[in-house]
A and B are shown apart, each in its own frame.
Chain A
Amino acid sequence: MSRVKQFKLPDLGEGLTEGEILQWMVEVGEEIKLNQPIVEVETAKAAVEVPSPFAGVVTQIHYPAGSTVDVGSVIISVDTDPSAGALEEVVSDHPEVADMVPSPPSDESGPLGALIGEVGPSGRTATLVGYGPKSVTAKRRPRSDTAPPAAVPEVAPPPPATAARVSAAAVGQSAAQSAGALPVLAKPPVRKLAASLGVDLATVTGTGPNGTITRADVEGATAGTPAVADAPVLASYDPATRERRVPVKGVRKMTAQAMVGSAFSAPHVTEFITLDITPTMDLVRQLKALPEFEGVKVTPLLLVAKAVLLAVKRNPEINSTFTDDEIIVKDYINLGIAAATPRGLLVPNIKDADQLSLVQLAQALQQLVQTARDGKTSPADMARGTITITNVGVFGVDNGTPILNPGEAAILCFGAVRPTPWVVGGEIVVRQVTQLALSFDHRVVDGQLGSQFLADIARVLSDPATALVWS
Chain B
Amino acid sequence: MAQLTMAKALNDGLRAAMERDPKVVLMGEDIGKLGGVFRVTDGLQKDFGEDRVFDTPLAESGIVGTAIGLAMRGYRPVCEIQFDGFVFPAYDQIVSQLAKMHARSRGTVKMPIVIRIPFGGGIGAVEHHSESPEAYFCHTPGLKVVACSNSLDAHFMIQQAIALDDPVIFFEPKRRYWEKADVDPTATADPLEQARVVRDGTDLTLIAYGPMVKTCLDAATAAEEDGRSLEVIDLRSLSPLDFPTVLSSVRRTRRAVVVHEASSFVGLGAEISARLSEELYYEMEAPVLRVTGYDTPYPPSRVEEEFLPDLDRVLHVVDRSLAY
Whether A and B touch (Cβ < 8 Å) is answered with yes
Q: B281 and A159: CB pair below 8 A?
A: no
Q: Is the CB of B282 within 8 A of A172?
A: no
Contact with A along B244-287 (1 / 0, CB 8 A): 00001001101000000000000000000000000101111101
Is residue A179 within 8 Å, beta carbon to beta carbon, of the partner chain?
yes
Q: Are B251 and A179 in contact (CB under 8 A)?
A: no
Pick the residue among A165, A174, A186, A210 that contacts B229 (CB under 8 A).
Answer: A165
Partner of A177, one of B197, B201, B248, B285: B285
For B224, the chain A residues whose CB sits under 8 A away are 167
Residues of B near A161 (CB, < 8 A) are 202, 252
Q: In the bound complex, what is the Cα–Cα distance between A210 and B323 (angstroms)?
A: 27
Evaluate contact between A156 and B322: CB separation under 8 angstroms.
Answer: no
A168 CB contacts on chain B under 8 angstroms: 227
Residues of A within 8 A of B30 (CB): none
Give the contacts of A392-418 with B (CB-CB under 8 A): none
Could you tell me if A159 and B200 are in contact, using CB atoms closer than 8 angstroms? no
Cβ contact within 8 Å between B285 and A174: yes
> How many residues belonging to A are interface residues under a CB distance threshold of 8 Å?
28
Q: B197 — nearest CB in chain A belongs to which residue?
A: A162
Residues of B within 8 A of A174 (CB): 254, 285
Given A158-B252, A170-B322, A172-B324: A186 touches B202 (CB 8 Å cut-off): no
Q: Answer yes or no: A171 CB below 8 A from chain B CBs.
A: yes
The answer to whether B200 and A165 have CB atoms under 8 Å apart is yes
Query: Is the contact region of chain A dominated by helix, strand, or loop, or is it mixed?
Result: loop
Give B209-256 interface residues, CB cut-off 8 Å to A: 224, 227-229, 248, 251-252, 254
Residue pair A183, B322 in contact (C-beta under 8 Å): no
Cβ of B166 within 8 Å of any chain A Cβ, yes or no, is: no
Looking at B254, B279, B285, the one whose CB has the most chain A CB atoms below 10 A away is B285
Kindly state whether residue B203 has any CB partner on chain A within 8 Å. Answer: yes
Assembled-state Cα–Cα distance A153/B282 (Å): 10
A172 touches B202 (CB 8 A): no
The CB with the most chain A CB atoms within 10 A, among B202, B229, B254, is that of B202
Given contacts A165-B229, A166-B229, A172-B324, is CB(A183)–CB(B281) below 8 Å? no
With A165-B229, A179-B202 known as contacts, the answer to whether A159 contacts B248 (CB < 8 A) is yes
Q: Mark A140-157, 1 if CB is under 8 A from B, else 0.
A: 000000000000010110
Against B, the Cβ 8 Å flags (1 = close, 0 = not) of A187-203 are 11001000000000000
Assembled-state Cα–Cα distance A430/B254 (Å): 67
Residues of B within 8 A of A186 (CB): 282
Using CB atoms, name the residue of chain A closest to B321: A172
The answer on a CB contact under 8 Å between B279 and A153 is: yes
**Does chain B have a CB within 8 A of A366?**
no
B278 and chain A: residue at smallest CB distance: A153
- Using CB atoms, name the residue of chain A closest to B281: A187
In the complex, chain A residues whose CB is within 8 Å of the CB of B283: 155, 158, 183, 185
Cβ–Cβ < 8 Å partners of B323 in chain A: 171-172
**Residues on the A chain within 8 Å of B281, using CB:** 153, 187-188
Distance between Cα atoms of A188 and B229 in the complex (Å):
23
In the assembled complex, A378 has its CB within 8 A of some CB on chain B: no
Say yes or no: A170 contacts B203, CB within 8 Å. Answer: yes
Which of A153, A165, A166, A168 has most B Cβ within 10 Å?
A: A165
**Interface assignment of A212: CB less than 8 Å from any CB of chain B:** yes
Query: Is A367 interfacial (CB 8 A cutoff)?
Result: no
Q: How many whole Å from B225's CB to the nearest CB in chain A?
A: 10
Q: Beyond the given A156-B251, A167-B224, A183-B283, could you list 16 further A-B residue pairs with CB under 8 A, ordered by the A residue number?
A: A155-B283, A161-B252, A162-B200, A167-B228, A167-B229, A169-B227, A170-B228, A171-B227, A171-B322, A172-B322, A172-B323, A172-B324, A174-B254, A186-B282, A188-B281, A210-B282
